[in-house]
Amino acid sequence: SLTFFVGVFWLPESPRWLIQHGKVALGESILTKIGGNDFAQKTIHDVEKSLENVQQESFKLLLKAD
């Protein structure tokens, strides 16, 4: 388990994390290497839509009265 813990520090960020933190170009570069340009564009669109839905749901929960 110690080896795993130490190894975590060298894991790269996921394309989703990069897109979520405004590093879309880097995320796109990684996705293009994995599956080509069409795959990268579709995945970026899906991730951005997913993040938008999460933000909307979080906001709705703040306004929800119990």
- Structure confidence by residue, pLDDT tens digits, 21-36: 999 999 999 999 999 9
- Quick one: how many helices (H) and strands (E) in the chain? 3, 0
Q: Please report how many Cα atoms fall inside a 13 Å half-sphere around the Cα of residue 42, on the Cβ side.
A: 6
pLDDT one-digit tens code per residue, 8-23: 787 778 999 999 999 9
DSSP labels, 25-44 = HHHHHHHHHHHHHHHHHHHH
How confident is the model at residue 7, as a pLDDT? 82
How confident is the model at residue 59, as a pLDDT? 67
Using 50, 70 and 90 to split pLDDT, how confident is the model at 66?
Answer: low
The pTM of the whole model exceeds 0.75: no
